[in-house]
Structure 1
């Protein structure tokens, strides 16, 4: 099931690797989408707003950890591409230790300061209680989230994108069942949705672990593999921390948008939450393509095949642009009608606000494609700090629009925050890409 991505047609390899990740990301989105649907339908708009208002905090905390684990396994993919199996195993052991320590630390910190964070975000009083219960349970389950993301990243680093998908599908189905039981039968509200998410994610991680133990001999770690190599750990942190901060920078900008929305009332928050769930289903393709490019570029950089890296970027850009045009048109024409899945009250008003959001973001899917493909690809090549600069540009774009929309009380302004961020970050990433490729050309000429 493991795949060497340094041979074969780049376009075909990228597409075949991306599709399972895309499907897996869709099922992962089902975790939060099913939470949103069931909470909105069976509890009400206030509970829906509570879950939606926590989405940015979840992205801040869990995104940071996802960035770390993805960064740690870039090193794993590079060693695998170079054929150095011993160093590859050592990188897996080091990533496991670092992830365990950091996830425990993040659990303690996030749960200790959550009340203050929710107050700083101006969380409306009518949804504060549900929001606090939901996010505290999510934070308590950080270790379960990290277990799956780390093991899935390790498998993908070895070219296996299908097994994580299978286990994620099982977990998503379990999440649906648990949501129905906890919310409808036991009336746990938003907290029930959080418990369903944590339990399901933990089970998917345990299944990945069993699979690796039973079926992946390349990952049979020996005693000497567990001896901490601090140079290796430093290399992993050098790549992982900028990737983690990239997620955090994006999340901080999103929190600024959420804070502006909170001042507009719970109906605006609920509408925005429903709209982002619809958008995220479509845009998981860009996330999946970015994940693919990180592995593809890491393996080929490790094998010193820079021409294949360039071909991979070209293929991903063409395929992603076609997808962006098609899906953008679909969302503009009919995306708002999916609102009926999420709300039972004020449907007409919420649907109108959902339509505004979808129209704002759909016309900017190509810049979003560039952000995901080029940021992750450059990170896969071993450059950690450069993509983080694009994250700062993203923060500036999103933050400025959030401040303006908050000052003038504009819902449309809040909807334009992400497109502004994608344009700034995407443009900067393209400049970085051409700079890096010119650098490699000069080295090759010498």
Structure 2
């Protein structure tokens, strides 16, 4: 497919943009999702290496520290995650409609918003990290290293946000392969620097944090140069700020609900983290290690969901609503199959957890999480795909409401109730309870078809 201006003059410089409006939905979603899945594997290796290195060369308290601060970091970056998703959907719809002029305006606007907004967010994070670590009951032996790690990550937050913006723009174009290249490079740099800074220089938790921000910054800059060379429409100066108010309002409409959802989700996760922290450093370390492992089941779900968001956006932009349902069925089926196959993680749990730290108490704590959560992942698979389709159509509010209810009326109260009445060994069944709540909200909405009325309103405004 070739993008065109509104006057229908073809632009041969953008023939690389991948259309998902023709062809078999299963093949299209698989082809689009596979590079993202490989990229997610590298992203997880990227995160795992940090934990494995500190868990083995610094100790289990360092392993607990690296994971404790993640919800706060994620919360501070949530607005940009939402804006990136909003930009992905809007770009995908403009691509489907063949409107190259607004594709370019959207890319320039989102980059300007990112650069102007990232610095104050980073400064705010530096001031908030210690108070919030105290608020979530971080043990005294874990607090100093957790604070050090978080402050370094916040100082280099622009690189992470920039990489995610690049990824969102490319996914809107139907290009999921280029981001994989950026991530592979960043992962290689991060692993090498982790080993250098921690094993050779002995910098501890600070070493893995510094390695992370260097790798992310390099990945962002390399990605930007690559994108400008590959896509003529992206050949703009990022420091020559351009801001289109109307387009930014559209991005906010699509992305702000998701950003708020992610922020509230992060606050909720901090509530769970507070409960986990109350059981001591061994339990924290096991929980954080298990989280790294179960992400290998989540990654395919995330990849299929991202693919179906772009697929939905492009087909709606092209007026091909008939193809959206078949794409949904394909993505749900593939996600459920992967979740069933991922149950093999449970028997493999002890040796996998042992990669992070060999302490028996850490491994036992990690197994509690895996045994509670993994059998219920199929619920998350279904709800994630449904939300991705609805968002791709331009409806972000209902998924946001579903996520908020899931967390605050489902997972958090049930986690505390189960922990206090039945023990910590069963507290993570609260995840499945929350996912069931989510499915009961977004499932009926999807079946009602009301989200379809959002389809053409946005790009016609």
TM bucket by the smaller chain?
A: over 0.9
Change (3 A) 1:196 1:243: same
| Cα drift, residue 406 of structure 1 | 5.6
The counterpart of 1:350, out of the listed 345, 350, 362, is 362
Residue in structure 2 matched with residue 394 of structure 1 by the alignment: 406
Alignment of 1:8-407 (within 5 A): 8-221=23-236, 227-328=242-343, 330-344=344-358, 346-347=359-360, 349-396=361-408, 397-405=410-418, 407=420
Seen in structure 2, the aligned counterparts of structure 1 residues 48 and 227 have a Cα distance that, compared at 3 Å, is closer
Q: Structure 2: how far apart are the matches of 1:23 and 1:211?
A: 19
What is the alpha-carbon distance in structure 1 between the residues aligned to residue 439 and residue 222 of structure 2? 36
Aligned to 1:411: 424
Once residues 375 and 383 of structure 1 are traced to their aligned partners in structure 2, the CA distance between those partners, rounded to angstroms, is 9
Q: For the Cα contact (< 8 Å) 2:283–2:366, is it kept in 1?
A: no
CA distance in 2, matches of 1:406, 1:262: 13
- Please state how far the C-alpha of 1:423 moved relative to its aligned partner: 1.6
- Distance change in 2, residues 1:438/1:405 (3 Å): closer
- Name the structure where helix makes up a greater proportion of residues: 1
1:3 maps to 2:36:
no
Give per-residue Cα distances to partners, 1:185-242, cap 9 Å, x unaligned.
Answer: 121111111111111111111111111121212323499x965321211111111111
What is the CA distance between 1:365 and its match in structure 2?
1.3
Using a 3 Å threshold, how does the CA distance of structure 1 residues 228 and 288 change in structure 2: closer, same or farther? same
Q: CA deviation at 1:427?
A: 2.5
| Contact 1:313 1:373 (C-alpha < 8 Å) held by counterparts | yes
TM-score under structure 1 length normalisation: 0.94
C-alpha separation between the residues in 1 aligned to 2:293 and 2:277?
20
Relative to structure 1, the CA distance from residue 439 to residue 184 in structure 2 (aligned partners, 3 Å threshold; closer, same or farther) is closer
Runs of 4+ displaced beyond 6 Å: none
Q: CA deviation at 1:390?
A: 0.9
Which has the higher mean CA deviation after the structures are superposed, 370-379 or 213-222? Answer: 213-222
Matched residue of 1:4: which SS? coil
Distance in 1, matches of 2:108 and 2:336, equals 38
Q: Could you tell me how far apart the structure 1 residues matched to 2:272 and 2:432 are? A: 12
Q: Is the 2:368–2:426 Cα contact (8 Å) retained in structure 1?
A: no
Number of equivalences: 439
Partner SS state of residue 126, structure 1: coil
CA distance in 1, matches of 2:453, 2:388: 18
Deviations 1:53-105, CA, capped at 9 Å, x for gaps: 12222332234422221212211111011100001111111111122222222
* Kept in 2: contact 1:256–1:402 (CA 8 A): no
- TM-score by length of structure 2 reads 0.91
SS at match of 1:113: helix
Distance in 1 (alpha carbons) for counterparts of 2:62 and 2:170:
37
SS at structure 1 position matched to 2:142 = helix
Give unpaired runs (5+ residues) of structure 1: none
Change (3 A) 1:216 1:284: same
Q: Which whole-Å deviations, capped at 9, do the CAs of 1:101-133 have from their partners, x for residues lacking one?
A: 222221122112221111111110001000000
Asked if structure 2 preserves the Cα contact closer than 8 Å seen for 1:331 and 1:359, the reply is no
Question: 1:425 aligned to 2:424?
Answer: no
- Once residues 374 and 64 of structure 1 are traced to their aligned partners in structure 2, the CA distance between those partners, rounded to angstroms, is 22
**Contact 2:26–2:327 (CA<8 Å) still a contact in 1?**
yes
CA separation in 2, counterparts of 1:226 and 1:87?
A: 16
CA distance in 2, matches of 1:104, 1:189: 26
